[in-house]
Amino acid sequence: MTPVKQEFIHDPSNGVYGDCQRAVIASLLDLPLTEVPHFLGLAKNNTELYWYMIQEFLREKGYAWLTIPANSGAAFFGAVAESVYHEISGPSPRGQGITHAVVGCDGTIMFDPHPSNAGLSGEPSEWEYSYLVKTCESKHGC
């Protein structure tokens, strides 16, 4: 995991869509930010297109994106020998009903791509964990 700061701060009233999740994906894949599309900006806040674009990008890299509630996603931490880097998303500490994404490791916030480094707000049990899942190279099974 290589920490990458986001480029755009969310300000949709001025036509600017934040790219924290883009920065988290770049961090998890050890890529420069410029090699990961600005999904939310390209989708113009269309969530269906946004998620489609993320999955398409990751499929080309050999991964799928899996999101689960934090209260069930933490069940396997400690069950594997190595730590697991992942995304944690939840309410932005800047308010306004915005969701923010940070890099986590075994359920703990490790890196915030936002310049404020303020992390997330709300109850950790209500956050979501997302994982890069390695996909099979064959359509006939792994």
Would you say 19 and 115 are in contact if contact means Cβ atoms under 8 Å apart? no
* Tokens (6 digits) for 106: 């075994």
Give residue 107's pLDDT.
87
User: pLDDT digit of tens for each residue in the chain (142 aa)?
Assistant: 999 999 999 998 898 999 999 999 999 999 999 999 999 999 987 999 999 999 999 999 999 999 988 877 666 666 666 788 999 999 999 987 889 999 999 889 999 999 999 999 999 888 999 999 899 875 666 6
Helix (H) or strand (E) holding 52: helix 47-61
Ordered by where they begin, the domains of the chain are 12-134 (3.90.70)
First to last CA, the chain: 25
